[in-house]
Structure 1
Amino acid sequence: MMADKEKDRYSLRVMTLLGLVVSVIIGIFALNIYYFKEVEKSLIEQTYQDLKTENDEAFNNLQGMIRERFKMLEVFSAYSDLPEKSENGVRIGVFDGKEIMYYRNHESQALNGENSITRLPSEDFIGQSGIVLSVPAVRDGQARGVVCMVYTAEELGKYLNSTELSPYGDNLIFTRSGELVVSCPRYENYANVYDILQTMEFRDEQSFEKMKKAVGSGTSGYAAYYHKGSGELLYYQPAGVEDWMVATMVKSESYESALYKIRKLSKVFIASSTFMVVCTVLLIVCIIYLRKKESKQAQKDYLTGVYNRETARKLVEQRLKGGGKKRFYACMFLDIDDFKKINDTFGHHKGDLVLTQAGQILSACTRKEDVIVRFGGDEFCIWLYGLSGRKQPEAIARRILNAFHASGTIHASIGITLVGENETEYDAILRRADQALYLAKGKGKNQFAFQL
C-alpha cells in the first residue's frame, strides 16, 4: 500500500512536470505567433507609411512644379506682347522640344482671369497627350490673352517619378473616372487605371470596388493586390488639380521577403526552444530518477535489499500514528539459526550470501505493502500490513519457514506479536516480538511463536 502511495505521488509529480513542459512549449508557440503577428503588423504599417511618403513626395513634386511654372508664366504674361486675336478666339502658342510652334483655338479659364490646368488630347499635340498650364495676360484689369506652357505626359511622368522611392514603384495620375492623365512605362498602353487593376488578383473581393468608390468620392486610400504572384500596393489621394488623383504603385517584395525570413527564424526558434526545453526536462527527469534511486538505496540495506533500521522506524511509526483500518496489525522478529556457526565454518563471504538469500526469501513470501527490515546482523523484522488475527500471520510464518527449509542451508526462528488497534508505541511492539522470538528458539529453533 505504501509503495502504491509512493507511486501515486511520483505519478502526480511526473504529470505536473509534464503539464509544465507542455505549458512552456505552448507558451513558446504563443509568444512566437504573437511576435510574428506584431512584426507583420509593424511591417505592414511601415510599408504603408513608406508608400504614403512616396505618394506625398510625388504630390508635392507635382504641386511644386505647378506653382513654379505658374509663377514663371505670370511673370511672362505681365511683360510679354499679347498675341493677335483670331476669328474664333484667343490664339495660344505652344512649343515642343523641337521648337516647333503649334496653334489651336483653346477655351480656358484663363480667359476668365484664372490660372488653369487642362488636358491636352493626343490628337491635338503630335500624337502625345499632355497638360496645358494657362495664365491670363491681364491688361487694364481684363484678360486680354493667355500665356500657356505644355508638358507632355512623358515629361510629366519623368518629373513625377523623380522621388527617392520611385525605383521601387511608379507614380500615376488619373481622373476620378479612372482615365490616365500620366501613365508609367509598365502600363503605357493602358488608357484607364481600372483596366490595369482588372488584370490584377484582388484576394479581398471588396478591395477593387472599395477603391473605385473612394476614388469616385475624391478620398485617399490603399489597395492591395497580386500581379503574377507578387504582391503590390497602391496608394491614391486627390492631386489638387481638377478631379485628378495621384497614385503610387509599389511591389511588396521586400515586405514579403522580410516576413519570410521572420517566419523562417520563428520556426527555427520554436524548434530549437522546444528541443532545449525537452532536453532540459529529460535532464531534470534523469536527475530526479537518479536522486530517487539514490534515496531508495539509502533507505535499503546494501546487502539484502530490504529496508534499513532507521528508514523502517520512520515508515512504521507514521502508519501507527495514522490510525484507522489501514495500518500494521502484526510484527515478526526473525533470527537465522546458527548464523555465527556459518560464519565461523565457511567464512564471512558465505555468511553474506546467506543474508542475501534470506532477504530474497522474505521478499518473496510477503507482500509489497509489508515492510521488511534488516534489524542488525542476522536479525530481520517484518511488519505485516492490513492483517488482523493470528491466522494470517501464522500462514505467512509457515510460508517463510518452508522456504528457508527448501533452500537446504538456512533455518530460522520467528517471533510474532499482534499490534493493538490503538497501539502506537514502536519500541514496545518490537520488545514483544523479540520475546516471542526467544520463545520460538526455546521450542527448538526453526519454529515460530506468539507473544500477545
Structure 2
Amino acid sequence: MMADKEKDRYSLRVMTLFGLVVSVIIGIFALNIYYFKEVEKSLVEQTYQDLKRENDEALTYFQGMIRERFEVLEAFSAYGNLPEGSEIEVLGGQGIMYYGIRESQGLKGENNISRLPSKGSNGQSGITLSVPVVREGQAKGAVCMKYTAEELGKYLNSTELSPYSASLVFTRSGELVATCPGYETYANIYDILKTMEFRDEQSLEQMKMTAESGGSGYASYYYKGSWELLYYQPAGVEDWMVASMVKTESYEGALYKIRKLSKVFLASSTAMVACTVLLIICIIYLRKKEAKRAQKDYLTGVYTRETARKLVEQRLKGGGKKRFYACMFLDIDDFKKINDTFGHHKGDMVLTQAGQILSACTRKEDVIVRFGGDEFCIWLYGLSGRKQPEAIAKRILNAFHTSGTIHASIGITLVGEQETEYDAILRRADQALYLAKGKGKNQFAFQL
C-alpha cells in the first residue's frame, strides 16, 4: 500500500516534470518562430528602405544631370556665335536630322526637354535638351543636346551610384526614357515586368494606376524563383518616373543564415533541456532511493521505528474501509544468549534472517518494523478479522521453527474501526507478547 503510494507520487513527479519540459520545448519553439518572424519582418522593412534610398539617390543624380546639361547649353547659348540660318534642329550621330516637338517654346525663350521617337538613332528612343539662343531680346535659334535611352541608362546606373540596384526612367504610360543593362531591347517598362512572376495579380495593375496618377510605390515579383523589388516615384521632370529594381539575394542569404542558426539553436537548446531533464530525473531517483534507504533498517530491510510511526499514524487517521486491522509484536527467543555465545556477527545474521522470514510471510501492503534490538512489529492491513492474524502468526512461527536456528514469540491485538491511538495499540500488542512468552517458546497470544 505504502509502496504503491510512493510509486504514484514518483510517477506524478515524473509526469509533472515531463509536462514542464514539453512546455519549455514548445516555448522555445514558439519563441524561436516569433524571433524568426520578427527578424524576417525587420529584414524586409530594411530592404524596402534601402531600395527607396537608392531610388532617391538615382532621382537626385538624374535631376542633377539634367540641370548640369542645361547649364552647359545655357553657357553655350549665351556666349556662342549663332551661324546664319540656324533652326531648332538636332543632328544625330548617324547624320539624321530630328526636329523637336516644342519649337515654339524654344523660340519664346524657354528651356525645354523632349522625348525622341524610337524611329531615330538606330531605333532607340531618347531625350533632347534645348536652350534658346536669344539675341537682342529675340530667340534666334536653339542649342540642343540629345541622349539615347541607353546612354541615359549608363549614366544612371554607374557602379559608384548604384552598386546593388538597377535604375531606369519611364513615362507615366510606361515608355522607357532611360533603360538599364540587360533591358536595352525593351521600349516599355511594362513589357519588362510582363516577363516576371507576380504572385499578387493586382501588383502590376496597381503599379500602372499609381504611375499614371503620378504616385509612388513598390512592386514585388519573382524572376527565376528569386524575389525582386521595384520602387518608383515621380522624377520631377516632365511626367516621368524614376524606378529602381533590386534582387533580394542579400536578404535571402541573411534569412537563410538566420534559419540555419535557428535550427542549430533549437537542436542545442532541446538537447540541453533533455540533458537537464535526465539529470533531474536521475537526481530525483537517487534522492528517492536514498530516502527509501533511510526509511528502512539497513540490517533487516524492514521499516525503521520512526518511519513506521509516520506511515501507520497517517493511515489510522485517514479512515476508510481498508485500514490496519491488527498489530503484532514479535520477539526472538533467547536472542541475548545467541549474541553472548556466538557473538554479534551471528546475532546480526539472525536479525537478517528474521527480517526475511517476516517479509516472506506477509503481504506488501503490511508494514513490518524493527522496533528495537530483537523486537519487531507487524501492522496488518485490509478487511479481515481475528482469523487472518492467527493464520499469519502460525505461518511466521512455523517459518522460524523450520529454519532450525531461531524461534520467536508473538503478541497480537486487533485494531478497532474507530481506533486511531498508535501508542495504545502498541501497548496492547506488547501485553499480548508478554502473555505469549508465558506460554513458552514459539507461541502467540491475543490481547483485545
TM-score, length-normalised on structure 2?
0.91
Q: Given residue 191 of structure 1, which amino acid in structure 2 is its aligned partner?
A: A
Q: How far apart, in 1, do the equivalents of 2:92 and 2:79 lie?
A: 19
Q: Which residue of 1 aligns with 2:77?
A: 77
- C-alpha spacing 1:172/1:79, structure 2 compared with 1 (3 Å): same
Q: Which residue of 2 aligns with 1:60?
A: 60
SS in 2 for 1:186: coil
1:192 and 2:188 matched: yes
Q: How far apart, in 2, do the equivalents of 1:420 and 1:262 lie?
A: 72
Residues 338-375 of structure 1, C-alpha deviations (whole Å, 9 max, x = no match): 33344445443333233222212222322222211011
| Bigger Cα displacement from structure 2, 139-148 vs 327-336 | 139-148
| Bigger Cα displacement from structure 2, 378-387 vs 432-441 | 378-387
Q: Which residue of 1 aligns with 2:268?
A: 272
- C-alpha spacing 1:105/1:425, structure 2 compared with 1 (3 Å): closer
**Match for residue 246 of structure 1 among 235, 242, 245:** 242
Q: How far apart, in 2, do the equivalents of 1:379 and 1:274 lie?
A: 54
Q: Which residue of 2 aligns with 1:362?
A: 358
**Match for residue 287 of structure 1 among 252, 268, 283:** 283
Q: Given residue 250 of structure 1, which amino acid in structure 2 is its aligned partner?
A: V
Q: Which residue of 2 aligns with 1:204?
A: 200
Decide whether the 8 Å contact of 2:54 with 2:165 is kept in 1.
no
Decide whether the 8 Å contact of 1:94 with 1:148 is kept in 2.
no
**Match for residue 308 of structure 2 among 303, 306, 312:** 312
1:436 and 2:437 matched: no
SS in 2 for 1:364: helix
Q: How far apart, in 2, do the equivalents of 1:306 and 1:165 lie?
A: 89
CA-based RMSD of the aligned residues comes to 2.5
Q: How far apart, in 1, do the equivalents of 2:135 and 2:399 lie?
A: 137
Q: How far apart, in 1, do the equivalents of 2:223 and 2:18 lie?
A: 48
SS in 2 for 1:433: helix
Q: Given residue 327 of structure 2, which amino acid in structure 1 is its aligned partner?
A: C
- C-alpha spacing 1:56/1:149, structure 2 compared with 1 (3 Å): same
SS in 2 for 1:190: coil
Q: Which residue of 2 aligns with 1:121?
A: 117
Q: How far apart, in 2, do the equivalents of 1:451 and 1:110 lie?
A: 135
Decide whether the 8 Å contact of 1:91 with 1:103 is kept in 2.
no
Decide whether the 8 Å contact of 2:149 with 2:176 is kept in 1.
no
Q: How far apart, in 2, do the equivalents of 1:134 and 1:78 lie?
A: 13
1:106 and 2:103 matched: no
Q: Which residue of 2 aligns with 1:181?
A: 177
**Match for residue 166 of structure 2 among 142, 157, 170:** 170
Q: Which residue of 2 aligns with 1:232?
A: 228
Q: Which residue of 2 aligns with 1:217?
A: 213
Q: How far apart, in 1, do the equivalents of 2:274 and 2:439 lie?
A: 63
| TM alignment of 1:353-432, pairs within 5 A | 353-387=349-383, 389-432=385-428
Provide structure 1 residue ranges, at least 5 long, that are not aligned to the other structure.
none
Provide structure 2 residue ranges, at least 5 long, that are not aligned to the other structure.
none
| Bigger Cα displacement from structure 2, 291-300 vs 110-119 | 110-119
SS in 2 for 1:445: coil
Q: How far apart, in 2, do the equivalents of 1:269 and 1:228 lie?
A: 32
Q: How far apart, in 2, do the equivalents of 1:286 and 1:176 lie?
A: 74
Decide whether the 8 Å contact of 2:413 with 2:429 is kept in 1.
yes
Q: Which residue of 2 aligns with 1:44?
A: 44
Q: Which residue of 2 aligns with 1:2?
A: 2
- In the alignment of these two chains, the number of paired residues is 446
Post-superposition shift, 1:25? 0.7
- C-alpha spacing 1:403/1:85, structure 2 compared with 1 (3 Å): farther
Q: How far apart, in 1, do the equivalents of 2:156 and 2:184 lie?
A: 15
1:92 and 2:86 matched: no
Q: Which residue of 2 aligns with 1:23?
A: 23
Q: How far apart, in 2, do the equivalents of 1:367 and 1:217 lie?
A: 93
- Percent identity of equivalent pairs: 83
Post-superposition shift, 1:187? 1.7
Residues 192-240 of structure 1, C-alpha deviations (whole Å, 9 max, x = no match): 2222222223333433333333333332222222323333222112222
**Match for residue 158 of structure 1 among 136, 154, 165:** 154
SS in 1 for 2:88: strand
Post-superposition shift, 1:410? 3.5
- C-alpha spacing 1:144/1:302, structure 2 compared with 1 (3 Å): same
